[in-house]
């Protein structure tokens, strides 16, 4: 599973750097999204990780009818409360730790 998760590990690791930077939590989530947006379902073979990934991605793209120039993620984050944004950031952190744990065990 290491080789399957190494790409996800790299992208999520990069996303964590965005989550601890400056700016609003929504801005930091957008930076994190820009780091991990290339990930796809096939990058998560473990069912629990896949479910968490799908939930995170879904929560970042809820608003489909906003400003087309902004896109679904920006529109969603613009309407997201700080509390929801903080919870989402925590979920990204948990997924990153899950992936890192598996990758670390195989090294």
How far is 73 from 1, CA to CA, in rounded Å? 30
pLDDT at site 107: 65
Give the whole-angstrom CA distance, residue 88 versus residue 5.
Answer: 21
pTM of the model as a whole: 0.92
Q: What is the mean pLDDT of each run of 10 residues along the chain (107 residues)?
A: 78 95 94 96 93 97 89 95 98 96 84
Written as six digits, the tokens of 35 are 């780091």
Sequence ranges of the domains in the chain: 2-102
pLDDT of residue 3: 59
Distances, alpha carbon 16 to alpha carbons 56, 63, 79, 92, in Å: 14, 24, 22, 8
């Amino acid at each position: 599973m290491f080789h399957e998760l190494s790409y996800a590990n790299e992208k999520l690791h990069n996303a964590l750097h965005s989550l601890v930077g400056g700016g609003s939590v929504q801005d930091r989530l957008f930076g994190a999204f820009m780091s991990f947006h290339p990930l796809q379902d096939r990058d998560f073979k473990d069912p629990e990780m896949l479910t968490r990934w799908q939930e995170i991605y879904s929560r970042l793209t809820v608003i489909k009818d906003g400003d087309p120039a902004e896109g679904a993620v920006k529109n969603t984050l613009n309407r997201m409360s700080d509390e929801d944004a903080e919870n989402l950031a925590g979920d990204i952190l948990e997924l990153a730790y899950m992936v890192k744990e598996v990758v670390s065990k195989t090294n």
